[in-house]
Protein backbone atom coordinates (compact mmCIF):
# COMPACT_ATOMS: atom_id res chain seq x y z
CA UNK A 1 0.00 0.00 0.00
CA UNK A 2 1.47 3.44 -0.91
CA UNK A 3 2.43 5.79 1.90
CA UNK A 4 0.12 8.70 2.56
CA UNK A 5 1.22 12.27 1.87
CA UNK A 6 1.42 12.90 5.61
CA UNK A 7 3.73 9.92 6.09
CA UNK A 8 5.88 11.08 3.16
CA UNK A 9 6.07 14.63 4.53
CA UNK A 10 7.37 13.32 7.86
CA UNK A 11 10.35 11.79 6.05
CA UNK A 12 11.26 14.91 4.11
CA UNK A 13 14.11 17.18 5.09
CA UNK A 14 12.89 20.30 6.92
CA UNK A 15 12.44 23.42 4.81
CA UNK A 16 13.75 26.36 6.86
CA UNK A 17 11.92 29.65 6.28
CA UNK A 18 15.21 31.54 5.92
CA UNK A 19 15.75 29.60 2.69
CA UNK A 20 12.40 30.44 1.12
CA UNK A 21 11.94 32.41 -2.09
CA UNK A 22 9.04 33.59 -4.22
CA UNK A 23 9.72 33.52 -7.95
CA UNK A 24 7.38 35.09 -10.47
CA UNK A 25 7.97 34.55 -14.19
CA UNK A 26 6.96 37.05 -16.86
CA UNK A 27 4.52 36.22 -19.66
CA UNK A 28 7.33 35.99 -22.20
CA UNK A 29 9.27 33.32 -20.28
CA UNK A 30 9.98 30.36 -22.52
CA UNK A 31 12.48 27.83 -21.13
CA UNK A 32 12.54 25.97 -24.47
CA UNK A 33 13.97 29.12 -26.08
CA UNK A 34 16.19 29.82 -23.05
CA UNK A 35 14.19 32.95 -22.23
CA UNK A 36 13.61 33.20 -18.49
CA UNK A 37 12.51 36.55 -17.06
CA UNK A 38 10.80 37.75 -13.94
CA UNK A 39 11.43 38.68 -10.36
CA UNK A 40 12.44 36.86 -7.20
CA UNK A 41 12.23 37.71 -3.53
CA UNK A 42 14.01 36.18 -0.55
CA UNK A 43 11.20 36.00 2.00
CA UNK A 44 13.18 36.43 5.21
CA UNK A 45 15.22 39.45 4.13
CA UNK A 46 12.71 40.96 1.69
CA UNK A 47 15.55 41.36 -0.81
CA UNK A 48 14.32 41.39 -4.42
CA UNK A 49 15.74 41.22 -7.90
CA UNK A 50 14.58 41.24 -11.48
CA UNK A 51 16.22 38.65 -13.69
CA UNK A 52 16.56 38.15 -17.43
CA UNK A 53 18.10 34.68 -17.39
CA UNK A 54 18.15 31.54 -15.30
CA UNK A 55 21.79 32.35 -14.51
CA UNK A 56 20.80 35.70 -12.96
CA UNK A 57 18.06 34.01 -10.92
CA UNK A 58 20.51 31.36 -9.74
CA UNK A 59 23.10 33.99 -8.83
CA UNK A 60 20.56 35.94 -6.76
CA UNK A 61 19.49 32.83 -4.88
CA UNK A 62 23.06 31.73 -4.21
CA UNK A 63 23.96 35.17 -2.88
CA UNK A 64 20.93 35.25 -0.58
CA UNK A 65 21.72 31.76 0.75
CA UNK A 66 25.36 32.73 1.34
CA UNK A 67 24.12 35.72 3.37
CA UNK A 68 21.87 33.39 5.42
CA UNK A 69 24.81 31.06 6.10
CA UNK A 70 27.07 34.00 6.98
CA UNK A 71 24.46 35.38 9.41
CA UNK A 72 24.03 31.95 11.02
CA UNK A 73 27.82 31.74 11.44
CA UNK A 74 27.90 35.20 13.02
CA UNK A 75 25.13 34.24 15.45
CA UNK A 76 26.92 31.02 16.35
CA UNK A 77 30.18 32.90 16.94
CA UNK A 78 28.48 35.47 19.20
CA UNK A 79 26.80 32.75 21.32
CA UNK A 80 30.12 30.92 21.76
CA UNK A 81 32.00 34.08 22.85
pLDDT (tens, 9 = 90+) of the chain, 81 residues, equals 455 666 666 678 888 999 999 999 999 999 898 899 999 999 999 999 999 999 999 999 999 999 999 988 866 555 555
Q: What is the pLDDT of residue 1?
A: 45
Q: Which residues of 28-66 are buried (b: 16+ CB within 10 A; e: fewer)?
A: eeeeeeeebbbebbbebeeeebebeeeebbeebbeebee
Could you give the CA distance from residue 60 to residue 45 in angstroms, rounded to a whole number? 13
**Measured torsion, CA atoms of residues 22, 47, 15, 32, in degrees rounded to the nearest 10:** 40
Element (DSSP H or E) covering residue 76 = helix 54-80
Domain ranges of the chain: 21-73
User: Under a CB-based contact definition with an 8 Å cutoff, are residues 68 and 44 in contact?
Assistant: yes
Q: What is the pLDDT of residue 37?
A: 97
Amino acid sequence: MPASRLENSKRLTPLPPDRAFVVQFSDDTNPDRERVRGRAEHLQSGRRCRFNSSAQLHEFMEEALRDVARAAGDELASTNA
